[in-house]
Amino acid sequence: MEKLDSTPVSASQIKNWTCRDPILSKAVMHTMQGWPEKAPTEELVTYWMRRLELSIQDGCLLWGNRVVVPPQGREIVLQELCKAHPGVVRMKLLARSYVWWPSINGDIENKVRLCHECQVNQTVRRKVPMHPWEYPEKPWSRIHVDYAGPWLGKMFLVIVDAYSKWLDVHVMDTSTSAATMEQLRVTFANQGLPGVLVGDNAACFTSEEFESFLSKNGIKHVTSAAYHPSSNGFAERAIQTFKDGMRKRYRVVAFRHVYHDFCFSTT
């Protein structure tokens, strides 16, 4: 910093601003004369908590190796930190090496939030919270469907009712639109026609014949957001419940077979 031709603020500016500031001038006085056992005022609490690490250099207040910037120079420092638009993390990292003031973290975040270039060039977008599904008024008014597998050499068509969480699972050899429609015809014949069917963007649920099948039966078709399986969370949770139950069952069956073989071999 000493070798730079020009800096955002100079030591003489920091000194003059510090002397004129009512809070920093008191912090300088207490740092030189000694701090009391308790913070004198509410504005000095932040400095009082760091009293053992504060020092004075050429009339400037320092916290460790970092210069305490008065309010008059904070915007200038923020503009210098944001000059290359490095982002919040990088700006905080740079600031921690040279400068400090009580609200510096919040000021950096606000600076990046209000900076058009920082917002346009940021790589990580804020995750938008998903809108939850509305609870249906009656059973079988909205169903969620999805395929689990290939698992154990088979495909499993999972159907869950959004109202009662009732789970209906069918073992399928294939997951084509024709096979899906054939099984749904059997399910609809037993349970009735739903008002809404929610599925993902798999080919078996978005084909023209599947859309025609639902349209002829008066069923509204809703697809989940692409690359966001959590938007069809009812079906995803039902698949997890189904697989957990099957794994537990297979563990019990496998244990019984091992126990039976052990008993047979010992006798």
Q: Predicted confidence band at 240 (pLDDT cuts at 50, 70, 90)?
A: confident
Q: What is the pTM of this model?
A: 0.48
Cα-flanking dihedrals φ and ψ of residue 222, to 5°? -125, 130
Residue 260 has pLDDT above 50, yes or no: no
Other Cβ atoms less than 10 A from the Cβ of 233: the count is 16
Q: Quick: pLDDT tens for 46-79.
A: 999 999 999 999 889 999 999 999 999 999 999 9
d(C-alpha 204, C-alpha 116), whole Å: 43
DSSP assignment letter at 170: E
- Residue 124 is predicted with a pLDDT of 58
d(C-alpha 83, C-alpha 96), whole Å: 17
- Residue 127 is predicted with a pLDDT of 65
- Residue 188 is predicted with a pLDDT of 92
**Residue range 245-251: mean pLDDT, rounded:** 71
More confident residue, 84 or 46: 46
**Class for the domain spanning 11-121:** mainly alpha
Residue 261 has pLDDT above 50, yes or no: no
- Residue 258 is predicted with a pLDDT of 39
- Residue 263 is predicted with a pLDDT of 43
Q: SS3 of 153, please?
A: coil
Task: Catalogue the E-assigned strands of 23-98.
Answer: 54-57, 60-63, 66-68
Q: SS3 of 176, please?
A: coil
User: For residue 190, which amino acid is it?
Assistant: N
d(C-alpha 153, C-alpha 36), whole Å: 76
- Quote the CATH superfamily of domain 142-260: Ribonuclease H-like superfamily/Ribonuclease H (3.30.420.10)
- Out of 5-9, 63-67, 155-159, pick the least confident: 5-9
Q: Quick: pLDDT tens for 42-51.
A: 889 999 999 9
- Residue 123 is predicted with a pLDDT of 66
Cα-flanking dihedrals φ and ψ of residue 220, to 5°? -80, 130
d(C-alpha 205, C-alpha 179), whole Å: 11
Q: State what percent of residues in the chain have pLDDT above 70.
A: 85
Q: State what percent of residues in the chain have pLDDT above 90.
A: 37
> Where exactly are the structural domains of the chain?
11-121, 142-260
